[in-house]
Each structure stands twice: as structure tokens, then as C-alpha cells.
Structure 1
Amino acid sequence: MTDARVPGDDEAAFIAAARSTDAAPFVLLTERYRRELQVHCYRMLANYEDAQDMTQETFLRAWHKRASFRGHAALRTWLYRIATNACLDFLDKRDDRTPVPADLPGAGSEVRYLQPYPDRMLPEDPQESVVARETIELAFIVAVQHLPPRQRAVFIVRDVLGWPASKAADALELTVASVTSALQRARVTMRGQLPGRRLDWRSPAPDELSDEERGVVKAYMDAHERNDLTGLAALLRHDLRFAMLAEPSTLIVTAKDAVDGWVSGGLFQRGHDDWRCVATTVNRMPAAALYLRTPDDPEHRLYTIAVLRIVDGKITELTGFDARDKPWLGLPATL
């Protein structure tokens, strides 16, 4: 995403489109960037619905500012600048978009506004997808939320997008020294939030699930459909980190406590014992869509999206998202 020294074809076409009152050429030129801009907004906001809204806001702002575009920067860079500032404006107006302390001692913070991101909406550009898994995994998205908004923006444009400090400073209306200082602080926070995890976000990372991951997902779904609590528990690492969103205070940090909570909540008991499951992927991570049929309902209805992080054949992190009455991820509402 380097600045263009002279306007390229896209930039020249956009300058021509900016002089027209016809929106069609503008839409044609900008729509190709929708998916990557939406991922960018998601990294900033950790919420799929908010990311969709801010992407649309980006295009509205770009339309109103189109006459100011001179081609001194690449069209993509110009759109990213608008998207970043749209997200910052959004965060300035919201007081519910920061992590809150977890009730469980030593468990850190909860990001209750977190939503999964459907893989089908990830960019198709190989240059984007080569970093997508490392920079869109739930753990990364949650860690980024612990950065103050402007520091978050600096970290994303510098360490994820790979912008030079001068371009980041121009986009965020900061000095190069401020950008450098903010990035250093952000990296310290990210290392604290992701101990032991790889921190070179621009290195190639596999974006396909491994056979091991697919096998664990299948076993997880089979255990639900068989009402097999023992089999389900056997898939969990003892230090499992479990959270159910958007419910508050559901963070659990051992497999035993998670299983005990599921049992006390009625899992595999009458009313919660007729499951059908569909394998899917979100945030470049293995996931299962769980459908529940209650005794008075002829259909299985989408109930929960369970996103799994799997290490050495065990589930180490399980994040559940309440999917009832939500048309999420392109999944069918009923089975």
C-alpha cells in the first residue's frame, strides 16, 4: 500500500469520476476495496456490525470529499485514511468500546462487544489474505482493543498494513515522533496481551485449517449431537479459556469450571439435548454453528457460534457467541 508517485489508472479514473455528478463511476472504482476496508474497520472496532457501518460511512465521506482527491497518494491509501478516521470518530463518541475488568480474579479483561468475522467476507486479494489469519484471530482482535484508539490506529497502520511512519503521521495528523512513540507503547501492550504468541504480524501465516483442527471440530460437533459430556470434556485442555458473548461475566479459565457451568446451565438435559451442528470458519479459525431444537419446535434453530483455538489436538480457547435470532455469517437460521 505505497503512495503513488504519479497517479495510476485507478487514481486518474477517480479524478475524472470526482468531476461527475454520476455516482456510478465512483462506486465502480471504490467498491473493489470494500472487503479490505471492512477488515480494517473490524480490527479497529472488534465488532462486525460496527465495521459494516463504518465501511459504509467511509464511502459516504469519500463521496463528499471526492473533489479533494488529487492523486498524490494511491486511492487505496486515501480510502484507508478516511476509514481510520471514521473509526476514530466512532470511538470518540462511544463509552462502551473499551475492555472491562473481568469479575474473575486474574482473568484480565472482557471485550463484551466482540463479534466474529465471517471468512466469506475476507478479502480475496492474496496479499491481504497472507496476513489475515494472524491479524484477525480473536486473540489478536481482543489484544488490540486494549490499546487507546489513536495508539490502536498507529499500531494497525504501521505493524499490520506496513505503512512507513511518515504516511501514518500524515493520515492521523500526528508528527512522526508521535507515531514512533505510540507504536513503541502499543507493541509493549501487545506483547503483554499475547505472551508467547508470534508478534511479527506481516509474516506469512497459513490461512487453511489443519487436518488436526478439522478433526477436533468434528469431534466437538459429534459430542454435542450425541449428548456426550465425557467426550466433550476430553477435547478441552485443562487451562481452557472460555467466554460466552455478549453475556457479561462469563469468562472461565479452567476446563473443569467450564464443564461444571455447562452442566448447571442444563447442557444435554431436556430442552438442551437435541443438537445439530455445522462446521464453519470465522476469523480464520475453526468454528461450529450449534443448532438446538426445543421440545415444542419442529426445527433446529441457530443457537450459538462456538469459535475454537486448537493447540496440539486440544481446545485451548472457546469463545461462544449468542446467535439466537441473528442472521449471522451467512448461515441458515434453521436446519
Structure 2
Amino acid sequence: MDNAQPTHDKNEAELLRAARRGDQAAFAALYRLHAKAIHSLVLRLSGSVETAEDITQDTFLKAMRFLPGLRAELPLRPWLKRTASNALIDQFRKQWRSLPLPGDDFMADAAALPESDAEIAGLLRRLPPAARTLVWLHLMEGWSHKELAARFGHTESWSKSVLSRALKQLRTNLSDDEKNSCE
């Protein structure tokens, strides 16, 4: 599955302008261009097909409402990804007031992850959803600890601590998987 950001070109800008004028076919084209990537991101973070479908739909409904404020000269996908991620975080915040993760609070360096996307996805699925989301948004989407802390309603040290524990858990799971495959 290719989730690479398409090059922002004149075509997307024209589609955005047309969608702003009420052209439903243009909005549908924007949806087709970006929905798979947004769905994939939310599915990867939440582990739930139903959640991914709901948040993808909500993200595009929000995009429809905010069309007048979206700048046609900027790529749409980063805005969509941020909107979808924020919606998922909001959902997590409603479900959990704090994130229970075992382990100590030391900062660890990033683990060497397996090469295969399937292996990475499998390891990430073993983390609690909020930790998986935090890891993905920080390492893959480039969110800072300050942004994550503000979005989750916690401190930067909380974000660093959760990331540290999640990376430690990923390393442990990876090590256990390697031991089990050698037996």
C-alpha cells in the first residue's frame, strides 16, 4: 500500500478551488486522492477498521466545512493527516484519563525496528492504542513532544516517558520474537 504524499500540483489546487465553489465531483476527486492514506494512518494507529472508517469520514466532513479556509497552494494531505490524528487523540482522551504502561521512566534510544512493514505493524499492534499513536506520530509524522503533550492534555515529560516505555516494549517484543524464531 503506497501512502506517499502525492506531489502537490496544479491539479490538486484546481480541485480544491472547484470544491470550494461547490463542485461535488471535485471534492469526490480529492477524497479519492487522499482517503486511502488517511484510512491507513488511522487504522495503523487505532488497530480498528471501524474507527479508521469513522475518523476518515469525519475528517473529510470537517474538510468540507473548512474548504473556504484551506489554502489551495498548500498540499491538502498534511492537513487531513493532522485532523485525523487529532480526532483519534480526542477519542483516546475520552476513553482514558491516563495511560497505564508498565516500566520505569528512563529515556531510551530508539530501537532498531525490523525491516518488513508487516513486522513493524505487528509489533505496534501489541502496544496500547494511545502509546501506538504517540509512537507513530512522534517517529513517523514528526510531532514534537510539546505538540503531543498539548494534544493529549499532559506534560512533555509524560510524552517522553510514554515514548520511552513504548520503545522499550517494542525492543522487548522484537527480542522475544527473534528468540522464538530461532527455536
Q: CA RMSD in A?
A: 4.3
Q: Whole-Å Cα distance in 2 between the matches of residues 72 and 183 of structure 1?
A: 33
1:295 maps to which residue?
none
Deviation of 1:14 after TM superposition, in Å, equals: 3.9
Q: Which has the larger radius of gyration?
A: 1
- 2:121 aligned with 1:136: yes
Q: Whole-Å Cα distance in 2 between the matches of residues 74 and 86 of structure 1?
A: 20
- 2:155 aligned with 1:155: no
* CA deviation vs aligned residue, 1:130-153 (integer Å, no higher than 9, x gap): 87324421x312215262xxxx54
User: Residues 16 and 27 of structure 2 are in contact (CA less than 8 Å); yes or no, is this contact kept in structure 1?
Assistant: no
SS of the residue 1:197 aligns to: helix
User: Residues 149 and 156 of structure 2 are in contact (CA less than 8 Å); yes or no, is this contact kept in structure 1?
Assistant: no
Q: Whole-Å Cα distance in 2 between the matches of residues 91 and 192 of structure 1?
A: 22
Per residue, is there more helix in 1 or in 2? 2
**Aligned length, in residue pairs:** 165
Deviation of 1:36 after TM superposition, in Å, equals: 2.0
User: Residues 155 and 183 of structure 1 are in contact (CA less than 8 Å); yes or no, is this contact kept in structure 2?
Assistant: no
Task: Could you tell me which runs of 5 or more consecutive residues in structure 2 were left unpaired when the two chains were aligned.
Answer: 103-114
* TM-score normalised by the chain length of structure 2: 0.66
Q: Whole-Å Cα distance in 2 between the matches of residues 131 and 180 of structure 1?
A: 31
1:322 maps to which residue?
none
**Aligned AA for 1:136?**
A
Q: Whole-Å Cα distance in 1 between the matches of residues 181 and 12 of structure 2?
A: 48
Q: Whole-Å Cα distance in 2 between the matches of residues 182 and 8 of structure 1?
A: 39
1:244 maps to which residue?
none
Correspondence list, 1:45-124, <5 A = 45-71=46-72, 73-94=74-95
Change (3 A) 1:159 1:183: farther
User: Residues 39 and 56 of structure 2 are in contact (CA less than 8 Å); yes or no, is this contact kept in structure 1?
Assistant: yes
Q: Whole-Å Cα distance in 1 between the matches of residues 100 and 33 of structure 2?
A: 33
SS of the residue 1:74 aligns to: coil
Q: Whole-Å Cα distance in 1 between the matches of residues 159 and 12 of structure 2?
A: 30
Q: Whole-Å Cα distance in 1 between the matches of residues 42 and 49 of structure 2?
A: 9
User: Residues 127 and 166 of structure 2 are in contact (CA less than 8 Å); yes or no, is this contact kept in structure 1?
Assistant: yes
Q: Whole-Å Cα distance in 1 between the matches of residues 76 and 138 of structure 2?
A: 18
1:107 maps to which residue?
none
Out of 183, 189, 197, the position equivalent to 2:165 is 189
Correspondence list, 1:34-49, <5 A = 34-49=35-50
Structure having greater relative contact order (Cα 8 Å, sep ≥ 6)? 2
Change (3 A) 1:9 1:164: farther
Q: Whole-Å Cα distance in 1 between the matches of residues 71 and 53 of structure 2?
A: 27
Q: Whole-Å Cα distance in 2 between the matches of residues 30 and 154 of structure 1?
A: 26
* CA deviation vs aligned residue, 1:111-162 (integer Å, no higher than 9, x gap): xxxxxxxxxxxxxxxxxxx87324421x312215262xxxx5443222123x
2:109 maps to which residue?
none
Q: Whole-Å Cα distance in 2 between the matches of residues 86 and 165 of structure 1?
A: 18
1:210 maps to which residue?
none
User: Residues 143 and 190 of structure 1 are in contact (CA less than 8 Å); yes or no, is this contact kept in structure 2?
Assistant: yes
* TM-score normalised by the chain length of structure 1: 0.39
